Amino acid sequence: MKRLNWQVLLALSLIIMSVLLYLIHYAIFRDPHHIYIYLVGDIAFVPIEVLLVAVIVHQLLSNREKRVRLEKMNMVIGAFFSELGTTMLTFFSDYDPNLDHIRRNLIVANDWSKEEFSRVSKLLKNYGCEIDIEKADLEYIRGFLVQKRDFLLRLLENPILLEHESFTQLLQAVFHLMDELENREELKQLPDSDRKHIAGDIKRAYGLLIVESLNYMKYARDNYPYLFSLAMRTNPFDQSASVVLG
């Protein structure tokens, strides 16, 4: 109510000031015809002014704000892959018996076109990744994820990521996998039903990780060549990749 009163008072003050100025103009020049001409001209320009301010300027500011949010969001996603995402892809892919079927599609090159990224993205979304749970070191996965709990919690608290639905789903999948592992004291002697269930949780997180890693590499390639260079040199799917240059 106070804010509304302040706005109403401001509007009334501006109107009164305008009326006073017109009265002063009339008192000095005694020319109402001149006042009417400029008054109508000013009113006629109002729709154009609204168009410029409310539509064009607003759109420019909105686009700039979106770019800033996108940059911040991808900075956070980049931090995720640096902190644990790339490592998770490394050991999850070791448990994937079908990896060789798509490995060559995951070795992103600097000369990839938008069409190539789009093709691989569609391929990955339809890829039925599998997990050989017998190869999985569940105790290592649990220890690794628990160690990163605070970092993951900070990511979930970041309001920027609320706009990125697929990455939020990835975080939820990783948290769920961590909770499933952490709530089981003994991981080496699990019944087959539990091992099958955990394999499904790993598969869910692994599939989302692959898709998000491709999206991040595309953004880095288009906007930050130095980040893309590091991402290529640490690509867990490229067996010849080396972080060492030369």
In a domain, 199, yes or no: yes
| CA separation for the pair 35, 138 (Å, rounded) | 83
Looking at 60, 84, 100, which one is the last position of a domain?
60
At 69 the pLDDT is: 78
* Structural domain range at position 92: 69-233
Full-model pTM: 0.73
My answer on whether 118 and 22 are in the same domain is no
At 143 the pLDDT is: 94
At 71 the pLDDT is: 82
My answer on whether 55 and 108 are in the same domain is no
Asked if 220 contacts 71 with a C-beta cutoff of 8 angstroms, the reply is no
At 4 the pLDDT is: 58
My answer on whether 37 and 78 are in the same domain is no
My answer on whether 113 and 79 are in the same domain is yes
Q: How many domains does the chain have?
A: 2
pLDDT along the chain (246 residues), means of 10: 68 85 81 76 77 73 76 86 91 89 86 89 83 92 94 87 84 94 89 93 93 90 87 84 70
